[in-house]
Structure 1
Amino acid sequence: MGLGLLTGIIVARTLGPDGRGALTAVLTVPQVLGWLFGMGCGKAVTFALARDPAAGGRLLATWALILVPVALVAVLTGEALLPHLLAAQPAETLALARLYLPTIALALMAELMLGLLLGDQDFPVFNALAFAQPAATAAAYLLLWADGRFTVESAVVTQAVTSALVLLAATIRVVSRHGLARPDAALGRRTGWYALRTHGEVVGGVVTQRLDLLIIPAFLSAAGVGLYALATNLSWLVVTLSSALATVVMPAASHRGEGGRTLILHSLHATFAIGAVLGGGLFLFAGPAIHLVYGPDFAGSVLPLRLLLPGAVLYAAAGILLNGLYAENRPGTATVAQSLGMAVTVLALPVFLRSGGLLAAAIVSTVAYTLVFVTAAVLYRRATGLPWRAFLPDPARLAALWPRRRPGRAATESAATETAG
């Protein structure tokens, strides 16, 4: 989170709203297409490897073979969509986006490798790699800024290089643990079916989370995109930090069977607590913080950020419940929750964005996030048969964790007198 803030400050202070908007427009399309064309492979290999630790080599070979043609189709799709998605942007931004587009292949392979690391429950390496990419990006940004060569173009090159390095490190780790094996058609069919059932949830999640940033460049100027991108990125700090458990809870809960439900509920309580504290702080201090850190040019980001924060907290909690459904082998059920959020986003954004601008986009996103959480809670309860009271923190458990007050001197002396008497 700290590294994300650092890189955001460098971009905002150096490039301003226009430059930040151009950078967002270039980076968002390959990221979103990578998620859309990922076919749910990350969740599928995580679930399969958590259940069968000996399948790692076959999963790696099978899914690498599947993803090669998928990556080609994704790049060609991006080439066709870019002129429409970046319709309101200058020609230089479109040309740079086309050069960056092949990194979709890196995103697809990274999803596979990181999914295998999670299936191994190799959480230290997974978290180290998750930290390494923003750390390398922040270091490169600082060097470029100090040398006076920080531009949109150099920032895009930095993103491509750091993504490639993290993918290389993840691949080396996975191959060293599992080696290389022959592709397994039967395993591919079995995990492919699981992946297709998860892919609806992935697509719905991507649309709910990123459709605003994907289509805003077609309606608003680069400055408007930059203001909204800042608000979105700050609100997603809440999701990134408070939903950190969501990433590891699915393989851990899958490994525990029915005992994993307790893990899901405790993770839900922790996510709510962290999200409420962080989101509440950002809501209160959004105005002075943005003015001080990013500069007065980004004052237009304050209200959209405040509108996004309640939905961000709920969406982080929804991530725990959706991963709980995956652990229950209900990926299709998880799709329902994201599909409803996607429907709100797809139907409402084009209607309200042109007239309502940034505020309309923020309101639509918060409504969609809230709907995903409510639906996920209902579906998880139905899948597990748990009563609603199980979703609430246990007061006795909280009391056991709360530090007891040390008795004062007078109370201690009184107790000693009573004991002596």
Structure 2
Amino acid sequence: MLKGLIGIRSAKQRTGFARHGVATVLVTAATMGLGLLTGILVARTIGPDGRGALTAVLTTVQLLGWLFGMGCGKAVTYALSRDHAAGGRLLSTWTLILLPVAALAIGIGHLLLPTLLAAQPAETLELARLYLPMIAMALLSELMLGLILGDQDFRSFNALNFIQPAGVAILYALLWAAGHFTVEAAVIVQGAMSTLVLVAAATLLVRRHGFGRPDFLLGRQTVWYALRTHGDVVGGVITQRLDLLIIPAFLPAAQVGLYALATSLSWLIVSLSGALATVVMPAATRRGQSGRELVLNSLQATFAIGGLLGGGLFVFADIAIRLVYGPYFADSALPLRLLLPGAVLYAAASILLNGLYAENRPFTATLANLLGMVVTLGGLLLFLRSGGILAAAIVSTVAYTLVFATAAALYRRATGLSWRVFLPDPAMLAALPRRLFDKPSSVTASPAASTVASTAGPAGK
């Protein structure tokens, strides 16, 4: 009787995750579509120079927000997934922690901007300085969205992630129709929508959990988890976006614009095929050891989606870019092709890294992105000035590949699984729409199945 009830509960969990997983992928696809529309509008309205300036301003502030985020999103997601009663205390405690961190980040940003935007005109530098306070919004948004994930409220999480690009697309279109679309107007729109999402998320959480008394012990515990994840966050940000952060200091705005288009298109693969990674961590954390099956199924699904999307984009890159963005962006095709293989592997790596978080191994997850960061930083410093955007694309793909290989080895070591369970079964792939989130036959048929079902992982590192 008890076994039957457990089986029913497990089936309901798989069904629920399948529903939320599919919804997340669909929302991500819709968000990507909106991103493509706004990208087309930007490209055809303000050209490579304008797109390069806009990318320089937004990317610089976004990266500083990630670098100073302290891993708070992962920390509160993990804590709230384990203890739902801690929501109000997590909200108040981490708000107090992040406010002085945001002030420090803004101050350092003012000092770094002249160097980071050395090759850009004075107007772009001034606009970036005006946008710097949005770092505080970025940090608080990471906290709010992390808590929503910890609540397993994937519906609200997806809705909030959709509202921002939808609002940006609508306001961009209105500005374009009125003949007032400029880099400055686009930056204002981005700031306004970020603020709106933050207010909506904060309102939802305060109504749900209240604003509890700050908890020093809880803060210390979650800060320790956060600091162990922060190396992964910093390494990931640098691996993903250091090229866009460094290029404006060495190359003119037109080259920045061409490379920004290539990276944004390649990142569509990461965003869509890796969309499951967002919900894998809280879902796998709540399920305990059975969450490993979920991680492996999500990994195989990510490879399937990424391979299809990446292969199609690789074949039709020239035609698609010329047709959609215009002939001025034709030189983005080759960097895009160089980035695509690495993008597929990086999406798969994100699943495994979130699996490590669910195993309470945040510091272990850090190692993969730290290796990628070293390769990215060294490669760009050595080859960017002479090789331009093609060198940047090659360096990024090599770094992404290294992150995936390292993440796979670390996850296998943390769980004790066989390499066989990482490989998709042909029958499973044929029935992917039906079995995407059920137990994979490769796990069932292999000796590692007992490891997934009954062996406890190593203690958190």
Q: The TM-score by the shorter chain falls in which range?
A: over 0.9
**Equivalent-residue separation in structure 1 for 2:298 and 2:113 (angstroms):** 39
**Equivalent-residue separation in structure 2 for 1:402 and 1:175 (angstroms):** 38
Please give the residue correspondences for 1:391-402 in structure 2 after superposition, counting only pairs within 5 Å.
391-398=422-429
Task: Provide the aligned C-alpha RMSD in A.
Answer: 1.0
Q: Using a 3 Å threshold, how does the CA distance of structure 1 residues 257 and 156 change in structure 2: closer, same or farther?
A: same
2:240 is equivalent to residue 209 of structure 1: yes
**Equivalent-residue separation in structure 1 for 2:348 and 2:359 (angstroms):** 17
Which residue pairs with 1:251 in the alignment? 282
Please give the residue correspondences for 1:13-412 in structure 2 after superposition, counting only pairs within 5 Å.
13-398=44-429
**Equivalent-residue separation in structure 1 for 2:427 and 2:141 (angstroms):** 43
**Equivalent-residue separation in structure 2 for 1:396 and 1:350 (angstroms):** 46
Q: CA deviation at 1:350?
A: 1.1
Counterpart residue identity of residue 50, structure 2 = G
Q: CA deviation at 1:401?
A: 5.7
Q: CA deviation at 1:389?
A: 0.3
**Equivalent-residue separation in structure 1 for 2:259 and 2:152 (angstroms):** 36
Query: What is the total number of aligned residue pairs between the two structures?
Result: 403
Counterpart residue identity of residue 253, structure 1 = A
Q: Using a 3 Å threshold, how does the CA distance of structure 1 residues 167 and 401 change in structure 2: closer, same or farther?
A: closer
CA offset digits 1:5-27 (Å, max 9, x no partner): 00100000001000000000111
TM-score when normalising by structure 1? 0.95
SS at match of 1:110: helix
Q: CA deviation at 1:399?
A: 5.5
Q: Using a 3 Å threshold, how does the CA distance of structure 1 residues 310 and 401 change in structure 2: closer, same or farther?
A: closer
Which residue pairs with 1:415 in the alignment? none
Q: Using a 3 Å threshold, how does the CA distance of structure 1 residues 65 and 401 change in structure 2: closer, same or farther?
A: closer
**Equivalent-residue separation in structure 1 for 2:206 and 2:300 (angstroms):** 36
Q: CA deviation at 1:394?
A: 3.0
Structure 2: give runs of 5+ residues left out of the alignment: 1-31, 435-461
Q: CA deviation at 1:179?
A: 0.5
Counterpart residue identity of residue 151, structure 1 = T
**Equivalent-residue separation in structure 1 for 2:175 and 2:389 (angstroms):** 31
**Equivalent-residue separation in structure 2 for 1:212 and 1:401 (angstroms):** 35
Choose 1 or 2 for highest CA Rg. 1
Q: Which runs of 4 or more aligned residues in structure 1 lie more than 2 Å from their structure 2 counterparts after TM superposition?
A: 394-403
CA offset digits 1:28-53 (Å, max 9, x no partner): 11100000000000000000000000
| Aligned residues with identical type, % of pairs | 75
Q: Using a 3 Å threshold, how does the CA distance of structure 1 residues 183 and 402 change in structure 2: closer, same or farther?
A: closer
Counterpart residue identity of residue 127, structure 2 = L
Which residue pairs with 2:439 in the alignment? none
CA offset digits 1:214-240 (Å, max 9, x no partner): 010000000000000000000000000
Counterpart residue identity of residue 166, structure 1 = V
TM-score when normalising by structure 2? 0.87
Q: CA deviation at 1:396?
A: 4.6
**Equivalent-residue separation in structure 1 for 2:270 and 2:37 (angstroms):** 17
Which residue pairs with 1:9 in the alignment? 40
Which residue pairs with 2:446 in the alignment? none
Structure 1: give runs of 5+ residues left out of the alignment: 404-421
